[in-house]
Structure formats: C-alpha cells, structure tokens
Structure 1
Amino acid sequence: MKEPLISTHQLSCRYGSLEILKDLHLEIPQGSIYGFLGPNGAGKTTTIRLLLGLIKPTAGSIRLFGQELERHRVQVLQRVGALIETPSLYKHLSGRDNLEVMRRMVGLKKSRVDEVLEIVRLRQDAHRPVKQYSLGMCQRLGIALALLSDPELLILDEPTNGLDPSGIREMRELLKELNQEHGKTIFLSSHLLSEIEKTVTHVGILHQGQLRFQGWVQELQKATQRASTVEVEVGNVLLANEILLGIGHAVETLDAQRLRVAVQEKEEAAALNHFLVEGGVAVYNLAFTAQSLEEVFLSMTEAPVLESSAKTQLQPVLQT
C-alpha cells in the first residue's frame, strides 16, 4: 500500500486550556479528493493551519509526501498550494495583475499566468478589476494563485462558502477537473456534506476536535443502508407492536395508526408485512426510508464523540 500523501499521528492542539484537536489520525491518499467535514468550530481550519506549518501542534506529528513537516518544512510546502477562507486579493488590480504580482515574487515563467487563468476559466475576465468580480470569480482567482507554482497538493478551506448554486456548481466542476485532468490531490474542508458528496472520493468527519469517520465515500454510503426504517400504517397498533417485538425488531409508536421499525435491509420490509398479516393485523401502508448521507453526518456530529472500539468501527482503513 502506498504511503498517504498526508498523514497525521496523534495530532493535538490547544489554545491555553481550550483543546481544539485531540489525537487526530488523518490519511489522505495520493490522487484523491478528500472532503474534510465538520460543523463550524469543529477544528477544520486549525487542522489546515497545522498542515501548512502556520501553527505548531501541542503534540503529535505531520507527514507530507512521506516527510516529516517539522524537519522538511520549506522543501515540502513548495509542493503545496493553499486557499484558506477568503483569498487575499488586490481589489484595485485586475485578475491578471494579481497573478503577475505573485508570479514575480516566486520567480515563475510569464506563460504560467495565462495557463492558470485558462484552468480556472477567468481568461476572458482577466483584464477587469477584481472589485468588479463576483464572489465565485474571486474564489476561482484565489485557486489560480494557489496553482501558480503547479503544486501536487491543493489544500482548500471552505472554497464554496457564500457561493450561490451556480458558483458552487462551477467550483465543483473545477475541482474535479483539477483532480482528474491535472493530477492534483485535493484536501477540501467544508461543513456541507450535501455538496461535498458530489465531489469527493474520500471523507473525514470531524466533531469537537476528534475524527468520527474516515474512509471512502462508499463506506459512508454503506452506513445509510445500515440506518434504515420502515413506517407501517396498521389497523391495530398494539397487536402490531407485540408481533414485531416478538420477532426481535425495535419498534417506535408514532401515533394511533403508525409504527416505525428499524431494519437492516430493504428486503425486510416484505417480511414485516408478511408477519403482520399472518398475525391478523391489517396493513394499510408500508414505506421504507433509508437515512440520507446528510442525516448520517448530523447523527455523527450531534451525538457524543465515540470512544475506543466503537470509534474504531467508524474509521475503516483507507485503501489506494
């Protein structure tokens, strides 16, 4: 198995007595789009600042490209491009001039400005002052600045924050293109699972400074299949409840005619119907509902942080 492009071991960070991160173990495979998810205040931006060497951890270690960040900081970070929150731009200058300032600072060839403008689809607007840009255009210009040095790894903090649906879609298409056509590994933080799931290949869910899930998107999708229910409308709630409890199902009474039953697979809905009818219960309606990814995310970030073996079960090992 290849060594992850980014890995952390027991990474912890405190501000005085406030613990921001605790024993964080990240593994971001090369070639992936890794969605780093969590509610506001979970510790996502702090993690990114640690990965970029902007702050020092209280404990633990960080490896980028197989090298310790603390020992090889300059060498490693030359291979990284980053956009943290809102990009810092000269609003009175054009988009091209913003890039030109950075190009001269790092000593890159002149043609690189046109190359990145083409990648982020800003070439036609490159002559306009940035103060005339939409928020989405500013975000794309920020990514262009991060791409100037042609980094292997992009670290982006909430790049869709504040964008309208059109801007979010453009950003999603851009990130996929950078990954698939330009070979960039992308570490992407967000608090919006509903949007991120359309973009990423891997997911890490952070809550109160601790990792609650890490793995392929498909692994998270499997969690939705294990968290499903059947709502049943019946003629006799008491008898239906007795029958279902008798065959080992967890049952919740919703009202005088409806029950909610926890199931493992969709096929169990037919079996429930069979048992109820055989037991003399009239079944008026039966609806299977799988928990959405958004609901799984909320359940992971609203419940108490899992400990020991239970936590480990939610962290399948990443494979490349």
Structure 2
Amino acid sequence: MLKTDFKPRKPRSLIFSEQKRFPVIPVILVVSALILIIWGISSQTNSDPSVSNGELKIVETETETGSETTDSKSPIKSYSIDLNLGSAESETTNPTPRLVKPKQGLQTKQATVTLPPEKKLAPEIKWVQTKIKRGDSTAKLFSRHGLSARELYEIMQLGKDTAILKRVQAGHVFEYSVESNGALYGIRYHINKLNTLIVLKDGDSWRATTETKPVEIRNANASGVIESSLFLAGKRAGLTDSLVMELAGIFGWDIDFILDIREGDSFTLIYEEKYVEGEKYANGVILAAEFVNQGKSFKAVRYT
C-alpha cells in the first residue's frame, strides 16, 4: 500500500492563462494608408507637365495658414525641384563644347624640334669635249686648251695607270673639266667604245681609274657560197676579216683552204655580236659552224 501526500493544486494565474495578442489590424490600416499616400504623390508627380523632358524647375507656391496653426500671418513658401538630366540621345547627337582652362600654378613646357640641315647639292661638273686630231699628243691638247703643263706632269707620274696617254689616237674623244678657280678638276680619255680612262683630282694628288661600260651579247648568223675564194665569200656574207680567219682556223685541220676549196663550197655559222649602249661595239667568237667542201659536211660547235 502506497502512501502519498496529497495536496490540492493551486489554480493557474489568469495572467498566464490569457496570451497577449499583437495588434495586427491597426498595423495593416497604417501600412495601407502609407501606400495610398505614396501612390498619390507619385501619380501627381508623373502627371505634372513641369517635370517633362527632365528639366530642372523650381516652382514657388504660397499658402496662407490660419492663426490657429501658426502665430505669424506671413505666407509659407514651398518649392518643387525638377532635375534636367537630359536624354542620352541629345547628349550624343549635340554635344556642347566646353573650354577647359588650365589650372593655375601648373607649369607648361615647350618642345623644341630640331630639323636636320638641308643638304647642299654639289655643283654640277661641266666637261669640255674635243676630238683628237692626227698628230695630236696629250701635251698639245693641254697647251691648246690652256691647261697647266705642271698638272699634266703630275698626272703622268701615276705610271702605268696613265701610260696610255703617251699614245693617244686620232678620232678618239678627250674631255677635261676646270674648277671655278681655274684649276684642273679632271680629264677623261675614251680609249674605245667600251673603256674610258678617268683621272680626277684627289686632294693634293691625282687618282686614275678605268671605267668599263656593260656589254650586251647578241647572237647572229651568216652564210655564203664560195665562187672564187673564202675571203671574198665571207665579205659578201658580211663577215669581218677576223671572223673569216677564225672560220678557216676551225676547219684548218680537215680542209686545205688553198688546195681543197672548190667553186660551190658553202659555209654557215652562228657568232656573237657585242653591243654597248644599244650600238654594236664588236664581233664575238663563233659559236657553231658548218663547212661543205666538195659535197662533204664538216661541223664544229664551241664548248664553253
């Protein structure tokens, strides 16, 4: 048998029996009222034409209040501000130029550009040309044109470089150039169409060089029939004496051009022609040839 002390429980306090409730309905009414006020203000601002185009405008209004609200009878001024931010399109299409003034106190530096000096063109050298006559010598040419014999002596001291001036040939061209002070600048002797001897003043001495023009090689051909001799047949074919002699030397081991030549024999050859500045200068070597002697053909080709 269990014994327990029984004590009657006291009733709970009424304070804990009833829970406090949050005032929800008043809060909802307040929030709704605020929303209506904000919506009304925004709709009035959007419908106001003074706010169009993003212009900044200040609109001044006056309202009078009664004595019950304020002690002073002066009107109260209120202002509305409109911001003119402009549109992106107008800002890009019609930009407004602005002058930016340099800040005071800043130092500016000037850049100096130095231009290179103008190149002075060398004075044009004028050459006097004369044709050597029969019996002329270099000494006579100098004397005829008033050139110094002393300068000729100095030029001839160059040795083999100017030795050809000891035997100048008639018909060739001789040139000279004189400086503004009357001193000899240089001479040019045309040895042939290909080579020219040039002697120029080089300080207190002289310098001699031989200038060689470029040569153009062209191939030519000729043919002929012997009636009396190879020499006459070659002349009729337009060959020079040197080409006829070269042709006879090529076939000299097979043909006796004194005893074996017969009337009706023939020849054909291909040879070189040398051109300088578009003009024929000389003939070159024979490249290929054929000689028919008493019906027998002999051929030769040059190997290079």
Q: TM-score, length-normalised on structure 2? A: 0.20
**Which structure: greater helix fraction?**
1
Find the structure with the greater CA-based Rg: 2
For normalisation by structure 1, the TM-score amounts to: 0.19
